[in-house]
Structure 1
Amino acid sequence: MLVSDIVRRNAQFFGDQDAVVVPGGPTRTWSELDARTNAFANALLGLGLRKGDRLAIFAPNCGEYIEFFFACAKSGVVGAATNIRLAAQEIASYLAYVEPAAVLVHADLADQARAWLPEVPTARHVIGIGKGHGFDLDLERLIGSASRDEPPVTVEETDVYQLGATSGTTGIPKGAMMTHRNAVAAMLNWLAEMPVPESGTALQCIPFFFNPGGPAGLHPVMMKGGRTVIHPGFAPGTFLRAVAEHRVTNTVLVPTMLQMILAEPDRERFDLSSLTGINTGGSPLSAALLRSGRELVGDIFYPLYGMAESYSCAAVLRPEDQFTDGSEQQVRQLASVGKPMTLTLLRVVDPNGDDVPHDGTTGGEIWLAGDTVSREYFRMPDETAHSRSGEWFKTGDVAVVDEEGFVTIVDRLKDMIITGGINVFCIEVERTLMLHPGVEQAAVIGMPHPTWGEAIHAVVRRAVGSEVSEEELIEFAAARLAHYKKPRSVEFVDALPISGTGKVLKRELRDARRTS
């Protein structure tokens, strides 16, 4: 099955039903979406793009993003969604690596794009989206003048469909080459793990340029004839209104988004009963956050662990394994990523490539395999070779596995601190600091030390009203951790640098402090 088969099939069986809803903008039925994406694909071919060429998009969430995904699938052109939050030089560097033949630019970001477009000489065409973009080519005019027949291109399930940009937490993002097989397998994986009704409604809260916005940016709701509701950005009030108005069944949230929703004073007045499944990711849900979330919408949370290279698929903590109260072992499971998803193979291995014992203490690297996993990085043979071992993708995440098979991430290999020759997992220290009621958020990094190699430094955002001190937090951690694991220094900040998927950007923390 191909990604393009989704829109073709739905046009046959759900033709008059809504496929894409943009409040204040156009609504497209499945029949309209099928015809428009045929025309979009033919327009790309008419501009001289060919199968395998790259098409970048620089836009906020919008209805045209869905059309971009399906047009790529039908034309054989490889999509490259671009992170609009990056600085101009970062975008130029990524696109210089991707070498797009054309770039789609939204009118709202046209001025920003003009700052880096001259640095992308391979882009023969710039196509504007929306009114007032000022570029010579306009997407709507191209679609309106192109044939709505099926594009004359043969596409196979092993063909590359999108470049999934990695998070770029350690440098310029890498482009994971994602095939149609990867994309369809990922959607089936999600469908196997969460309730998705026929003709349901997905609310797009995560930016489309992040893979957790849904496999290939297309939520599995669409595979069953459902629709996607798209707002340009996330706001908690907008979320609550949209769920009630559109009877949303499924969505994706990172924990910080859920916190914002729960902080809305009038959240209880909205009818949220239509929700059947909320995927979360980026970081585990705390017991307090899960408890409050359940009080608002019910027991419908599905915390997922994955990455661009695996199409957001790897592990899931299923509802029956989520305990906010119970034995110490049960409550501890909330900090885990759960167990492998239905269509994913997962191992935790030592440096020799052998599986670690399931004792809850022996750390190893998570390796993944299966149809959702990318086969390689775009034009990076060395990076590909370093990150693969046969069929297995080496994630760089360090985890332990307990006696019941629950996998808990304890660090990134690149973030692990070596102090006095001993490995310290940052996450263990962070979770300990988070137990203090005066701590809202904590990130731990290693700082150069003349004697120990690295010293443990904590960067902390206090809870509202808290005046907890550095000395108090160090003593708090020392009472709960081995002496060598306690922070040697604590720094308080108003905010931590966070990616769109809710991850703390530790590279930024390290770089800022090691150069200051």
Structure 2
Amino acid sequence: MYNLATLIERNASFRGDRTALIFNDEKLDYRTLNTLINRAANHLRNLGVKPDDKIALSCPNNPAFVIAYYAIQKVGAVTVPLNVMLKGTEVTYHLDDSDAIAFICYEGNSALPSGEYGYEGFSQAERCQHFICIPSGSELQMALPTEQPNEQSAPTHNAPQYHNFGSWLTDTDNDHFEAIFRRAEDTCVILYTSGTTGRAKGAELTQSNMLCNAQACQALLNQKGTDVSMAILPLFHTFGQSLILNTSMLAGSALVLIPRFVPKLVIQQMYEHKVTHIAGVPTMFIGLLAFAEKHGGEDIIEIAKHLKVAISGGASMPVEVLKQFEEKLNVPVIEGYGLSESSPVAAFNHLEFERKPGSIGQPLAGVSMKVIDDQGNTVPAGAEGELLIRGHNVMKGYYKKPEETAKTVVNGWLHTGDIVRIDEEGYVYVVDRLKEVIIRGGFNIYPRDIEETFMAHPDIQMIAVIGVPHKSYGEEAKAFVILKDGAKVSAKELVQWGKARLADYKYPRLIDIVEELPMTATGKILKRMLK
């Protein structure tokens, strides 16, 4: 029996004065962090939130995300993290599909109007009862009076469904809250992913999934309470949430929060706070390397003195980039692999063993992997096939989708949809994907989401979306469109139409208007023929 939020309680008790969060050069210790979480938890309970209720959370990397995330856990509810770039209709889908009864949403600004889109989605949701606005501009100074929400981004302060998260955190009458203990198999978070086909599905991860994955990551990284980790990956994403947030809170480390990846800011914060652990996707390392090469000097030398390990995931890092980064900052770069359905970390290059560039390493402790052919037979070392995973990290299932779950988790084995080979020493190499998922700059894009959105356009008869190579982002979404008879819309107009309805990382920037699409005899589009 345990609760993920007890990671914070433990540190507040044993090392309360130690720094927990660093944001804009301001620091929050574990005792204060726990108090703020307690205040938020008490207000959630006052709203009637009960164990197993679903609470959606959309917020960039700032202390409010951390406070809300663990407050939801304290009351025994389920956290449903949402991408801050989702547009209104996307928010509605996730709120309805997850049965969220409340939505904690960052107000944002003109550059990131998350509050505006969030409230738009909340207003259309069927079951969501409460909109809890995190005011922008007061993310760390939570003990100070908060700003009022932007009237264009959120409902009025007097609306019964509106609540000000900032004012919750100034309520000193609610400083104490005892975490509601949960069973190992109880759902902890619901992370949205595509599975193998179709629209985004909520992968239910248990308390045991999340705690065991954090413990495995801490052991992998040899992370201690004296270390300083950095969150440049978004915490609403499974990678940042488990490998960075939960692992740091488990270790009792300090965590530097970076709300938006800007190489100059990241380098400055690494230098200022003597960062020891950093994790990102390949595009981030490429950006950091380019900045270091152009502006390198004493700062880079000093950073290298403290940096212990750099972690890369989300996509394969070019071998040359990996080597250059290691040489420039005198630090080992370890690559790994995971899925939302595997909590997420499943394999990594281990620091104590040989690191093979291009490989995702070996399974974590307690995780088994095998490779099967089309008939389900295990293939010998070196042969290619689909990767299957079994262990403490395999999800509970897809929320409210037993048939999809049964197709993905068979006899305890998670079918990843990734084609791999495993060498004689147990190192795994990803060769290809069975899934249609596109990975753009570390973000997953599911073609079905784009296709369903565009099929609502009055001039479109048919659409197929694929991923194409991109120099900076790894992949880019490209759409092939057949127009209805007489339609005159241009590809440029379609791009703008998609931009208005899909998250900025998701909409296709490349659209070809075509006369026909390659199909099977049964009418299924042959996307492989479009590549």
Q: State whether structure 2 residue 76 is matched by structure 1 residue 80.
A: no
Q: 1:140 aligns with which of 153, 158, 166?
A: 166
Give deviations 1:61-88, integer Å, cap 9, x for gaps: 1111111221122111111111122333
Instruction: Give the Cα–Cα distance (whole angstroms) in 2 for the partners of residues 515 and 97 of structure 1.
Output: 36
After superposition, the Cα gap between the structure-2 partners of 1:18 and 1:182, relative to the gap in structure 1 and judged at 3 Å, is: same
Instruction: Give the Cα–Cα distance (whole angstroms) in 1 for the partners of residues 467 and 75 of structure 2.
Output: 49
Q: 1:266 aligns with which of 292, 295, 307?
A: 295
- Whether the aligned pair in 1 keeps the contact of 2:389 and 2:416 (CA below 8 Å) is yes
Instruction: Give the Cα–Cα distance (whole angstroms) in 2 for the partners of residues 374 and 460 of structure 1.
Output: 30
User: What SS does the aligned partner of 1:55 have?
Assistant: strand
Q: 2:369 aligns with which of 340, 346, 349?
A: 346
Q: State whether structure 2 residue 123 is matched by structure 1 residue 118.
A: yes
Matching of residues 100-499 of structure 1 within 5 Å: 100-108=100-108, 109-130=114-135, 131-133=147-149, 134-135=154-155, 136=157, 137-145=163-171, 147-151=174-178, 153-166=180-193, 171-215=198-242, 218-264=245-291, 265-270=294-299, 271-272=302-303, 273-319=305-351, 333-358=356-381, 360=382, 362-415=383-436, 459-461=468-470
Worse-matched range after superposition: 163-172 or 138-147: 163-172
Match of 1:480 in 2: none
Kindly state the Cα deviation for residue 141 of structure 1 after the two structures are TM-superposed.
Answer: 1.8
After superposition, the Cα gap between the structure-2 partners of 1:461 and 1:4, relative to the gap in structure 1 and judged at 3 Å, is: closer
Instruction: Give the Cα–Cα distance (whole angstroms) in 2 for the partners of residues 217 and 42 of structure 1.
Output: 26
Kindly state the Cα deviation for residue 171 of structure 1 after the two structures are TM-superposed.
Answer: 4.6
- Whether the aligned pair in 2 keeps the contact of 1:251 and 1:279 (CA below 8 Å) is yes
- Whether the aligned pair in 2 keeps the contact of 1:164 and 1:308 (CA below 8 Å) is yes
Give deviations 1:308-341, integer Å, cap 9, x for gaps: 1112211112356667xxxxxxxxx422212112
TM-score (norm 2): 0.74
- Whether the aligned pair in 1 keeps the contact of 2:56 and 2:80 (CA below 8 Å) is yes
Instruction: Give the Cα–Cα distance (whole angstroms) in 2 for the partners of residues 371 and 124 of structure 1.
Output: 34
Kindly state the Cα deviation for residue 244 of structure 1 after the two structures are TM-superposed.
Answer: 0.5
Runs of 4+ in 1 over 4 A off after TM superposition: 167-171, 319-323, 457-463, 507-516
Aligned partner of 1:75: which letter? V
- Whether the aligned pair in 1 keeps the contact of 2:134 and 2:165 (CA below 8 Å) is yes
Instruction: Give the Cα–Cα distance (whole angstroms) in 2 for the partners of residues 185 and 195 of structure 1.
Output: 15
Match of 1:329 in 2: none
Kindly state the Cα deviation for residue 117 of structure 1 after the two structures are TM-superposed.
Answer: 2.0
Unaligned 5+ segments in structure 2 are: 109-113, 136-146, 158-162, 440-446, 448-465, 473-497, 499-504, 517-531
RMSD: 2.9
User: What SS does the aligned partner of 2:177 have?
Assistant: coil
Match of 2:38 in 1: 38
User: What SS does the aligned partner of 1:127 have?
Assistant: strand
User: What SS does the aligned partner of 2:170 have?
Assistant: helix
Give deviations 1:385-420, integer Å, cap 9, x for gaps: 11011111111111122233222111111359xxxx
User: What SS does the aligned partner of 2:131 have?
Assistant: strand
Match of 1:21 in 2: 22
Aligned partner of 1:414: which letter? K
Worse-matched range after superposition: 197-206 or 150-159: 150-159
Instruction: Give the Cα–Cα distance (whole angstroms) in 2 for the partners of residues 509 and 381 of structure 1.
Output: 35
- Whether the aligned pair in 2 keeps the contact of 1:2 and 1:181 (CA below 8 Å) is no
User: What SS does the aligned partner of 2:357 have?
Assistant: helix
Kindly state the Cα deviation for residue 126 of structure 1 after the two structures are TM-superposed.
Answer: 0.7
After superposition, the Cα gap between the structure-2 partners of 1:415 and 1:178, relative to the gap in structure 1 and judged at 3 Å, is: closer
Aligned partner of 1:353: which letter? G
After superposition, the Cα gap between the structure-2 partners of 1:460 and 1:166, relative to the gap in structure 1 and judged at 3 Å, is: closer
Kindly state the Cα deviation for residue 240 of structure 1 after the two structures are TM-superposed.
Answer: 0.4
**Percent identity between the two aligned chains:** 26
Instruction: Give the Cα–Cα distance (whole angstroms) in 1 for the partners of residues 512 and 357 of structure 2.
Output: 32
- Whether the aligned pair in 2 keeps the contact of 1:193 and 1:342 (CA below 8 Å) is no
Instruction: Give the Cα–Cα distance (whole angstroms) in 2 for the partners of residues 460 and 106 of structure 1.
Output: 33
Kindly state the Cα deviation for residue 216 of structure 1 after the two structures are TM-superposed.
Answer: 7.6
Kindly state the Cα deviation for residue 217 of structure 1 after the two structures are TM-superposed.
Answer: 6.0
User: What SS does the aligned partner of 2:417 have?
Assistant: strand
Kindly state the Cα deviation for residue 232 of structure 1 after the two structures are TM-superposed.
Answer: 1.5
Kindly state the Cα deviation for residue 11 of structure 1 after the two structures are TM-superposed.
Answer: 0.8
- Whether the aligned pair in 1 keeps the contact of 2:95 and 2:128 (CA below 8 Å) is no
Instruction: Give the Cα–Cα distance (whole angstroms) in 1 for the partners of residues 280 and 471 of structure 2.
Output: 23
Match of 2:68 in 1: 68
Unaligned 5+ segments in structure 1 are: 324-332, 417-425, 428-444, 446-456, 464-496, 498-503
Match of 2:442 in 1: none
- Whether the aligned pair in 2 keeps the contact of 1:236 and 1:261 (CA below 8 Å) is yes
Q: State whether structure 2 residue 96 is matched by structure 1 residue 96.
A: yes
Instruction: Give the Cα–Cα distance (whole angstroms) in 1 for the partners of residues 316 and 277 of structure 2.
Output: 19
- Whether the aligned pair in 2 keeps the contact of 1:261 and 1:267 (CA below 8 Å) is no
Kindly state the Cα deviation for residue 92 of structure 1 after the two structures are TM-superposed.
Answer: 1.9
Aligned partner of 1:13: which letter? F
- Whether the aligned pair in 1 keeps the contact of 2:258 and 2:266 (CA below 8 Å) is no
Aligned residues: 427
Aligned partner of 1:283: which letter? A
TM-score (norm 1): 0.76
- Whether the aligned pair in 2 keeps the contact of 1:194 and 1:302 (CA below 8 Å) is no
Instruction: Give the Cα–Cα distance (whole angstroms) in 2 for the partners of residues 110 and 354 of structure 1.
Output: 50
After superposition, the Cα gap between the structure-2 partners of 1:513 and 1:181, relative to the gap in structure 1 and judged at 3 Å, is: farther
Instruction: Give the Cα–Cα distance (whole angstroms) in 2 for the partners of residues 126 and 94 of structure 1.
Output: 14
Aligned partner of 2:128: which letter? A
